[in-house]
Amino acid sequence: MSGPPDLPALGVLGGGQLGRMFAHAAQAMGYRSIVLDPDAQSPAGLVSHGHLQAPYLDPRALAELGAACTAVTTEFENVPAAALETLADHCPVAPGAAAVRICQDRAAEKAHFQRSGVPCAPYAVVDSEAAARAIDPALLPGLLKTAQLGYDGKGQASVATREEGLAAWQRFGGVRCVLEKRLPLRRELSVIVARGFDGRAVHLPVQQNLHRDGILAVTQVPAPDVDDATAARAVRCALQLADGMAYAGVLCVEFFLLQDGSLVANEMAPRPHNSGHYSIDACDLSQFDLQVRCMAGLPLVAPRQHSAAVMLNLLGDLWPADAAGQRRAPDWRPVLALPGTHLHLYGKAEARAGRKMGHLTITAATPVQAREVALQAGACLGFAPF
Ligand SMILES: Nc1ncnc2c1ncn2[C@@H]1O[C@H](COP(=O)(O)OP(=O)(O)O)[C@@H](O)[C@H]1O
Ligand SMILES: [Mg+2]
C-alpha cells in the first residue's frame, strides 16, 4: 500500500461512488484511505492509497485492512454484516454489524421502526407459500419487496390481488419478503444523521427527493414543500432510530409524507446516501466529512447549509449513444457555464442506462434561483429535472 505509512489510515468496505467521496473527505483531513472491493476498477479504489482486491468476507484481507486502519466503515448497503463483525476484532468499526444487519433486512427494519415508536407503512412478512396465499386484503394494493438485497426499486413488485402476490413471491424465488400497503405519497423526504461512538448526534437539513423508475433523480434542500413542523418531526424520528440502534456513523432515513400530512418511515441506509451528496457543495460539513469524524472519534458539530441546493443525478442514459450503440460523455461545457454548478463524476468507464455515473449540484443564494439553474442544466443535457 502506498503513502507514508506513519499517516493514519481509514478503511472502507465497498469501492463505489460513496466510498470514492468518503476517500476524498478522508484524504482532505490527512488520512490515507484503503478500500476493500473485489472490483479492480472500483471508483473508490481508483483514488485511494490502498486497494485490497478481495471478496468482502476474505479473512486475510479483513485482517490486513483492520491492522492497517485507525477505523473502518462501509459504503455499500450489502456488504455482509459478518465482515464488519470480523473487522471489529481489529479496530473500531462504524457502523457496527448489529445496526447494519437491521438496515439490510426490511422486516428487521420495520420491526425497529415500530420498537422506536416511528410510524411505517402497514406490512406483513411473507416467508412461505402459506403466508403468500393468506395475504391480508387490507394490505392491497401493495408492494412486495424482497427483505434483503433490494435497491433502486429492484426486488419489488406491484401487487393488486392475492394471486398476484403469490405469483410475485414465486418470481422472487420464494425468498423472505415484506408486503407493504401502497400509500398515497405527497412527497418523499430523507434525513441524514451522524452519531458518534459517544452517542452525540447531529443531522443535515431535511431533503426532498424525487424518484424516477425507482431511482433517485432530484434532491432539493431546503425542501420546498415541507413545513417546519413536519421537518422537525422527521429529524426527531431519524435521531430516535439512530439512538435505538446505538448507531455509530452516518445513517440516512427515508420518509414518505402522505397526502393527509402524516409522515411514515420508509427505509434506512447505514451509510451516506445519494440524497446527501448536495452537502459537499452546499454545507460547511458534508455527509462524508461527518463520516470521517464519526469513525475517527472527532467532534461532531451541527452542519450549516450555506447555499440553497438542487442535486441532479446523472445516469448513463444521459450519455449519448452513437450508431454503434457506444455511449460517450455529454458536453459539460454549457452546464459548467451556468452559475453555481458543481459536477461530480465517479470515474466509471462504461455508461449504461440506469447506472449512476455522477451528479450535478447547483448551489445558489435562494431555492428559486437554484431551481431555475437546474432547469437550464437539464435543458443542456436533454432532460426535464422537475
Ligand atoms: N409503500 C409504498 N407506497 C408507495 N410508494 C412506495 C412504497 N414503497 C416504495 N415506494 C416507492 O418506491 C421507491 C423505492 O422503494 P424503497 O422501499 O425505497 O426501495 P429501494 O431500496 O429500491 O430504494 C420509493 O422511493 C417510493 O417512490
Ligand atoms: Mg429507497
C-alpha dist (Å) from residue 1 to 5, 29, 40, 49, 197:
8, 19, 15, 6, 28
Directed axis angle between helix 17-28 and helix 287-296, to 10°? 70
Looking at the fold, whether 79 and 163 belong to one and the same domain comes out as no
Looking at the fold, whether 254 and 353 belong to one and the same domain comes out as yes
Ligand 1, residue 180: give the atom nearest the CA. 1
The pick from 103, 256, 274 for probing ligand 1's pocket by mutation, whose C-beta has the most ligand atoms within 8 angstroms, reads: 256
Give 338's pLDDT tier (boundaries 50, 70, 90).
Answer: very high
pLDDT at 78 over 90: no
Average pLDDT over every residue of 207-227: 97
Instruction: Give the distance between the most distant pair of CA atoms in the chain.
Output: 62
Looking at the fold, whether 53 and 150 belong to one and the same domain comes out as no
Q: What is the pLDDT of residues 113-127, one digit of tens each?
A: 999 999 999 999 999
pLDDT at 221 over 60: yes
Looking at the fold, whether 205 and 169 belong to one and the same domain comes out as no
Q: What is the pLDDT of residue 7?
A: 87
Looking at the fold, whether 232 and 282 belong to one and the same domain comes out as yes
Quick check: CB of 266 below 6 Å from ligand 1?
Answer: yes
Average pLDDT over every residue of 302-316: 98
pLDDT at 2 over 60: no
pLDDT at 37 over 90: yes
In this structure, is residue 3 part of a structural domain? Answer: no
Give 1's pLDDT tier (boundaries 50, 70, 90).
Answer: low
pLDDT at 290 over 60: yes
Contact status, residue 249 vs residue 13, Cβ threshold 8 Å: no
Average pLDDT over every residue of 51-71: 97
Q: What is the pLDDT of residue 77?
A: 79
Average pLDDT over every residue of 76-94: 93
Domain of 372, in residue numbers: 185-381
**What mean pLDDT value characterizes the chain?**
96
Atom 16 of ligand 1, residue of closest alpha carbon: 153
Contact status, residue 11 vs residue 72, Cβ threshold 8 Å: yes
Q: What's the one-letter identity of residue 267?
A: E
Looking at the fold, whether 174 and 263 belong to one and the same domain comes out as no
pLDDT at 19 over 80: yes
How many domains does the structure of the chain reveal?
Answer: 3
Quick check: CB of 151 below 6 Å from ligand 1?
Answer: yes
Radius of gyration of the chain (CA): 21
In this structure, is residue 149 part of a structural domain? Answer: yes
Q: What is the pLDDT of residue 49?
A: 97
pLDDT at 9 over 90: yes
pTM for this model (two decimals) = 0.96
Ligand 1, residue 155: give the atom nearest the CA. 22
Q: What is the pLDDT of residue 4?
A: 61
Q: What is the pLDDT of residues 139-193, one digit of tens each?
A: 999 999 999 988 777 889 999 999 999 999 999 999 999 999 999 999 999 999 9
CATH number at residue 142: 3.30.1490.20
